[in-house]
């Protein structure tokens, strides 16, 4: 009952455990390695406890470096349009097509910021006629942006249904409209098509 097993039995059990795939170990089965002595286990535990803060600091540093490398790769991908390293919201052929569709046309919304600055300057002038012109100009710009956005929405919907009939198109049209609000040279990922070029 208390006799030790022979070397042949131990070799057989280790061979069987090596051949089997990794599964939860039966509590009654042999573990396949000798139990360490108490002094040895305590010294290993002490060594782990002493080295933990240094390892944690190194792990945090390595993680920070990896994050920095990822961000640099993403910035480069945004500048060049490299699909592999783009952020998740910009990835995929559907999003790329939406970007190309917006970049290939003139959009009223991309001139919103410069026009808004001009209108703001005009409203600061203390002449009532110029202020009323600025107010009318403000309303005209907003109306043109709304009409142009509707045209982009309808045109993009039609083109997406033709080009990607079985793809998930959720969130693509708002993504394209947000891109129309950015000035062309400030858009990220950088435009890959010229104006008037059919995507």
**pTM for the whole thing?**
0.63
Contact call for residues 187 and 81 (beta carbons, < 8 A): no
What are the helix (H) ranges across the chain?
Answer: 7-19, 38-80, 93-103, 112-124, 128-163, 172-180
Question: pLDDT tens string for the chain (199 positions)?
Answer: 555 555 555 555 554 444 444 555 566 666 667 777 888 878 877 776 665 445 778 878 888 988 898 888 878 877 777 777 788 889 899 999 999 999 999 999 999 999 999 999 998 988 999 999 999 999 999 999 999 999 999 999 999 999 999 888 999 999 999 999 999 999 989 999 999 888 8
Contact call for residues 191 and 99 (beta carbons, < 8 A): yes
Contact call for residues 74 and 85 (beta carbons, < 8 A): yes
Query: pLDDT at position 86, please?
Result: 82
User: What's 141-175 look like in SS3?
Assistant: HHHHHHHHHHHHHHHHHHHHHHHCCCCCCCCHHHH
Query: pLDDT at position 45, please?
Result: 77
- Cα Rg of the chain, angstroms: 33
Q: Residue 106: which residues within 8 A CB-CB, separation 6 or more?
A: 195
């Amino acid at each position: 009952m208390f006799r030790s097993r022979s070397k042949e039995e131990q070799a057989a059990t280790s061979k069987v455990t090596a051949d089997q795939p990794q599964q939860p170990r039966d509590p009654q089965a042999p573990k396949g390695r000798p139990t360490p002595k108490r002094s040895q286990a305590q010294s290993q535990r002490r060594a782990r406890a002493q080295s933990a803060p240094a390892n944690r600091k190194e792990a945090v540093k390595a993680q920070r470096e990896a994050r920095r490398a990822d961000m640099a790769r993403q910035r480069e991908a945004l500048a060049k349009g490299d699909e592999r390293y783009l952020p998740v919201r910009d990835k995929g052929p559907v999003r790329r097509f939406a970007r190309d569709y917006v970049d290939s046309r003139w959009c009223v919304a991309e001139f919103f910021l410069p026009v808004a600055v001009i209108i703001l300057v005009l409203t600061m002038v203390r002449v009532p006629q110029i202020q009323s012109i600025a107010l009318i100009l403000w309303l005209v710009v907003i109306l043109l942006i709304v009409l142009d956005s509707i045209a982009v929405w309808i045109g993009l919907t039609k083109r997406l249904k033709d080009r990607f009939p079985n793809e998930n198109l959720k969130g693509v049209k708002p993504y394209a409209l947000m891109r129309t609000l950015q000035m062309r040279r400030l858009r990220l990922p950088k435009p890959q098509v010229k104006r008037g070029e059919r995507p």
